Amino acid sequence: MEICSIALDPIEKKPLARFYPGSRILSVGGVGCTLHCPWCQNHEIALPEDPSAVPTRTITPDELAEAAASYIPYGNIGVAYTYNEPLLRWRQVLECAKAVRAQEAPDLVGPDHLVNVLVTNGMVGEGPLEELLEWIDAWNIDLKAFTQEGYDVCGGKLDVVKRTIRRAAACSHVEVTTLVIPGYNDDMDGFERAAAWLADVDPDLTWHLSRFHPAYRWMHLPRTPLDTLYRAQEIARRHLNHVVLGNVPLA
Known binding site for [4Fe-4S] cluster: residues? 33, 37, 40
Pairing mode, if any, of strands 2-3 and 57-58?
antiparallel
CA distances from 238 to 7, 157, 200 (A): 37, 27, 13
> Which amino acid type is present at position 148?
Q
How far apart (Å, rounded) are the C-alpha atoms in residues 39 and 53? 21
CB atoms within 10 A of CB 28: 25
Binding residues: 33, 37, 40
The CA-based angle 26-129-78, given to 5 degrees, is 15
How far apart (Å, rounded) are the C-alpha atoms in residues 101 and 69? 11
